[in-house]
Amino acid sequence: MIDASTLTRLRSIVGASNYFDGPEDKITYSYDGTPLLNQLPDAILRPQSPAEIAQVLALANQERFAVVPRGSGSGLSGGSVPTENSVVLLTNHWTRVLEIDERNLTAWVEPGVLTAAFQAQVEGKGLFYPPDPGSAAISTLAGNVAENAGGLRGLKYGVTKNYVLGMEVVLPSGDIVLLGGKNVKDVAGYNLKDFLIGSEGTLGVFTKLLLKLIPKPETSRTMLAFYPKLSDAAETVSDIIAAKISPAALEFLDNMTIRCVEEYAHLGLPTDLEALLLIEVDGHHAVVEEEAALIQQLCRKHRAREVKVAADAQEAMRLRSARKVAFSALARVRPTTILEDATVPRSEVAPMLERIQQISKKHGLTFGNFGHAGDGNLHPTCLTDERDTAEIHRAEQAFEEIFEEAVKMGGTITGEHGTGLSKRRFLEKLTPPPAVEMMRRIKESIDPNSVLNPGKIFSLKPRCEGPLPKSREVIEKFLSQGAFT
Amino acid sequence: MIDASTLTRLRSIVGASNYFDGPEDKITYSYDGTPLLNQLPDAILRPQSPAEIAQVLALANQERFAVVPRGSGSGLSGGSVPTENSVVLLTNHWTRVLEIDERNLTAWVEPGVLTAAFQAQVEGKGLFYPPDPGSAAISTLAGNVAENAGGLRGLKYGVTKNYVLGMEVVLPSGDIVLLGGKNVKDVAGYNLKDFLIGSEGTLGVFTKLLLKLIPKPETSRTMLAFYPKLSDAAETVSDIIAAKISPAALEFLDNMTIRCVEEYAHLGLPTDLEALLLIEVDGHHAVVEEEAALIQQLCRKHRAREVKVAADAQEAMRLRSARKVAFSALARVRPTTILEDATVPRSEVAPMLERIQQISKKHGLTFGNFGHAGDGNLHPTCLTDERDTAEIHRAEQAFEEIFEEAVKMGGTITGEHGTGLSKRRFLEKLTPPPAVEMMRRIKESIDPNSVLNPGKIFSLKPRCEGPLPKSREVIEKFLSQGAFT
């Protein structure tokens, strides 16, 4: 627990109206989008300037408490779950687009801007912000940058990091620094900017972001292809890449996911398919027409039962929603949904899906699988119930085997969501030890007192290495202590 | 000086036939492509495996000498110039392409592969490796990765870092680690891979590289536009970007450079122009035709006197050579050529060129300017004579003013070549101090004994902070000591 006098000083830094420590506040901010992880913060702060964040961090260094930055709290690996002796630092109230520079194709934004809102705003100017964090309509730009999240448009446009040109960041020391610049190539010194992206709030708090924009593609074509056999879908993906097409989206759903999506959204999907591919191409109209025709031909060659092509933007949105609602649709089936994101080289997608099925069957679990077929980023999703301790244990076993398999195939334990709390044990187990040691040393060199989001990504000695807190226990203990009495 | 018994141990690690310490060897490896910087190494090593590099680094940690990795030695900021008490570690004898994976669009290569040779090889398979380190036909892949060099194709394809998916690297500790993977999205832990790229051999020695390939563009169109007025060329560039075209190349030459190129290569360029633009578009034939037509229209709108369009690949090569030979052509004029690479936001290219002209005039110097108009990366090049101490001093003054101006305009002191030795004082002066401190701490945390290329990018205490060695003095002193007698 942070002592009362320190909490009083924190309250005076941000002001009484931006300081929260009631039991309902603590419970609200005790979790993010990750199941099974809770921890109560000692207070929640809504800073009004980077200078206030700097003061909070200076005090944290002095009094040795932890500061946990938080966007929309939509993360899926516990990156913004509080640690012991921590305050949560909100950033989602900073929602302004500060500048759209049409000459240099850049935009300065505040960290709490919603990705979807920003996309709409730049598209109004004939520009385009490609990263598309899928279904997460509430995800903030800073949250995506911190996680380095991808999205449906991953294959053609690459992930978020390629679209972050710079940032204003408060370092663990409390220094406020501007890194990067407007579309300028920059190789001066070490690449701190790219290093901070994806550091999950452990090395700095982003207070402004400079994003790269591109011209809006002239047109696009969206298709859904229905496959009785999964292997045929996989071969279609290989052939599309071999034909030197880079679709904007190349996504798949397995049978379980298709059935859940259909039950949820009534899109008219056949529920007997082994797989469905969502394919989208965009760009110059001549290229789009040519590529769309070739893709349909390849789908049929590989025995797709049907290929639906959207006639207009509205139908495209409808087809795309088959993929966008996948997570929500699966989440309805059972009380607890564990969505993961193992990634394998594209050539290993079909073998990996087969292995996931075997592992799931072996442990008597229900899995839905969907994800980015084009770049090998799979989202194996376990439908379970956190009240069933035995089943949760089997699910943890299954994911461990899935991650081991992914790494064995040349893949990784996370392609988009980050390591956070929930995957640090896999990182420590499956990453070469000298690389983990290097990460730990860098963290210690920049944040010697472990004040900024400590214990995320990897454990830190001597603090932050105990077992992870379990969801219900934390809340129940808190309530049993008479929090609301 | 490294003591004799340590040198004997180094010789036994790499074998007598891969160990060099004669005076002609030391002089040969005392410099790279950067003028005005020399330092003699104590020995030169040609390791035969990553394990040998690990042994060399282990010994360096024990005996506290420095290890300076070197590719082709074509660097332009002194990144591979030896430091005091150092051995040079060669990597340019490792020249194999180990694997081209057409399914995953990747290639594993050794660090000494020449970029041009590799490009030719992948193009033979219908694939494409976009980074194009300009005129540096002898530049090795590892050299470019270490510097994170750009090239003529910078605007459309981005710089080298976007095409490096992974690496085998020997860390300063001697640990050999594999980072990254085959086209897999990876956000597990800190992004060490991208951090090592561009670290100029200070954090690791690359022994293998995994590169990303893309489908070869269907066709391309190369154009040269001649401008009596520089400002018209700048406005053309703005309009091309505003028209939402991303050319593969968008390069410019100023009058001094045009005159030198014409004298050198006899391409038939008019020598009374203020500027020339080289513009190249590539991709689908329909897009290329449309974009090339629009570009020609924009050139004429902004009073280009003539626009030459290449009729075939051979003529394209000829037009492109106007830019490719720029450095060589300027280098003939006077004994010493100082080529720099200040970068500014694209909108500031014309004002920046004007400032360079003013600064050059003020100091009574001769400058040629060329570079990447599309992404603001300029190569102001001072034609001087290192024997004229007063002129060299004025040149140093001029560059300092140029870098200050670039940073003031939102740019940077290096867009491609890296900081190395020659620009560390500008880095330390013009980068926010907390950022430099962060770089230094990271270096110290990973290389606590400062064994790997110390003193490059920033000075390290207590070693590597003296004045830079000057070219002739070092050699002359060496020879006066009777090195060859």
Contact A197 B215 (CB under 8 A): no
CA distances from A314 to A130, A188, A259, A317, A323 (A): 19, 46, 23, 5, 15
Contact A206, A91 (CB under 8 A): yes
Tens of pLDDT, residue by residue over A274-288, are: 999 999 999 999 999
pLDDT for residue A347: 86
Contact B185 A104 (CB under 8 A): no
Tens of pLDDT, residue by residue over A231-272, are: 999 999 989 988 889 899 999 999 999 999 999 999 999 999
Residues 110-139 of A with CB under 8 A from B: 126
Contact B103 A376 (CB under 8 A): no
Q: Does A63 touch chain B (CB under 8 A)?
A: no
3-state SS, B178-205, equals EEECCCCCCCCCCCHHHHHCCCCCCCCE
Peptide bond into A462 cis (omega under 30): yes
CB atoms within 10 A of CB A317: 12
pLDDT for residue B160: 84
pLDDT for residue B471: 65
Nearest CA in chain A to B284: A287
Average pLDDT value over all residues in chain B: 92
Tens of pLDDT, residue by residue over B309-318, are: 999 999 999 9
Residue to substitute from A106, A185, A205, A218, interface B, most B β-carbons within 10 A? A185
Q: Does B231 touch chain A (CB under 8 A)?
A: no
Q: Is B404 left (phi over 0), alpha (psi -120 to 50) or beta?
A: alpha
Residue A244, token pair as written in the block: 């030197």
Instruction: Report how far residue A318's alpha carbon sits from residue A326's, in angstroms, rounded to the nearest whole number.
Output: 13
Helices (H), B219-312: 230-242, 255-265, 285-301
pLDDT for residue A470: 66
Instruction: Report how far residue A9's alpha carbon sits from residue A4's, in angstroms, rounded to the nearest whole number.
Output: 9
Q: Indicate if the pLDDT at residue A466 is higher than 70.
A: no
Average pLDDT value over all residues in chain A: 92
Residue to substitute from B165, B184, B403, B445, interface A, most A β-carbons within 10 A? B184
Lowest mean pLDDT among A34-43, B176-185, B452-461: B176-185
Q: Does A284 touch chain B (CB under 8 A)?
A: yes
Contact A193, A203 (CB under 8 A): no
Nearest by CB to residue A189, choosing from B187, B244, B439, is: B439
Q: Indicate if the pLDDT at residue B467 is higher than 70.
A: no
pLDDT for residue A464: 60
Instruction: Report how far residue A349's alpha carbon sits from residue A234's, in angstroms, rounded to the nearest whole number.
Output: 7
pLDDT for residue A482: 80
Instruction: Report how far residue A457's alpha carbon sits from residue B279's, in angstroms, rounded to the nearest whole number.
Output: 45
Is residue A136 very low, low, confident or very high in pLDDT (cuts 50, 70, 90)?
very low
Query: What one-character DSSP code corresponds to residue A135?
Result: T
Helices A230-242 & A285-301, crossing angle to 10 degrees?
A: 140
Contact A345 B148 (CB under 8 A): no
Instruction: Report how far residue B436's alpha carbon sits from residue B457's, in angstroms, rounded to the nearest whole number.
Output: 10
Instruction: Report how far residue B276's alpha carbon sits from residue B237's, in angstroms, rounded to the nearest whole number.
Output: 11
Tens of pLDDT, residue by residue over A62-109, are: 999 999 999 989 889 999 999 989 999 999 999 999 999 988 889 999
Neighbour-count burial for A451-480, b at 16+ CB within 10 Å, e otherwise:
bbbbbbbbbbeebbeeebbbbeebbeebee
Is residue A325 very low, low, confident or very high in pLDDT (cuts 50, 70, 90)?
very high
Query: What one-character DSSP code corresponds to residue B16?
Result: G
Is residue B136 very low, low, confident or very high in pLDDT (cuts 50, 70, 90)?
very low
Dihedral sign, CA of A238, A242, A243, A248? positive
How many angstroms away from the CA of B84 is the closest CA of chain A?
A: 21
How many angstroms away from the CA of A92 is the closest CA of chain B?
A: 23
CA B223 to chain centre: 25
Q: Indicate if the pLDDT at residue B373 is higher than 80.
A: yes
Dihedral sign, CA of B83, B456, A173, A29? negative
Is residue A204 very low, low, confident or very high in pLDDT (cuts 50, 70, 90)?
very high
Instruction: Report how far residue A111's alpha carbon sits from residue A144's, in angstroms, rounded to the nearest whole number.
Output: 10
Contact B414 A105 (CB under 8 A): no
Phi then psi for residue A330, to 5 deg, are -70, -35
User: What is the distance in angstroms between the CA of the first residue and the CA of the last residue of chain B?
Assistant: 20
> Is A114 strand, coil or helix?
strand
B415 contacts on A by Cβ (under 8 Å): 184-187
Contact B103 A189 (CB under 8 A): no
Q: Indicate if the pLDDT at residue B167 is higher than 50.
A: yes
**ipTM of the complex model:** 0.93
Instruction: Report how far residue B455's alpha carbon sits from residue B440's, in angstroms, rounded to the nearest whole number.
Output: 10
Contact B438 A446 (CB under 8 A): yes
Contact A212, A183 (CB under 8 A): yes
Q: Does A408 touch chain B (CB under 8 A)?
A: no
Q: Does A192 touch chain B (CB under 8 A)?
A: yes
Contact A469, A38 (CB under 8 A): yes
Lowest mean pLDDT among A212-226, A347-361, B181-195, B219-233: B181-195
How many angstroms away from the CA of B7 is the closest CA of chain A?
A: 28
Element (DSSP H or E) covering residue B446: helix B433-446
Element (DSSP H or E) covering residue B223: strand B219-227
Contact B108, B210 (CB under 8 A): yes
Instruction: Report how far residue A300's alpha carbon sits from residue A394's, in angstroms, rounded to the nearest whole number.
Output: 39
Nearest by CB to residue A445, choosing from B377, B442, B457, is: B442
pLDDT above 90 coverage of chain B, percent: 77
The CA angle A142-A108-A320, to the nearest 5 degrees, is 60
Across A371-380, A391-400, B102-111, the highest mean pLDDT is recorded for A391-400
Tens of pLDDT, residue by residue over A412-441, are: 999 888 999 999 999 999 999 999 999 999
The CA angle B280-B285-B288, to the nearest 5 degrees, is 30
Tens of pLDDT, residue by residue over B45-103, are: 999 999 999 999 999 999 999 999 999 898 899 999 999 899 999 999 999 999 999 88
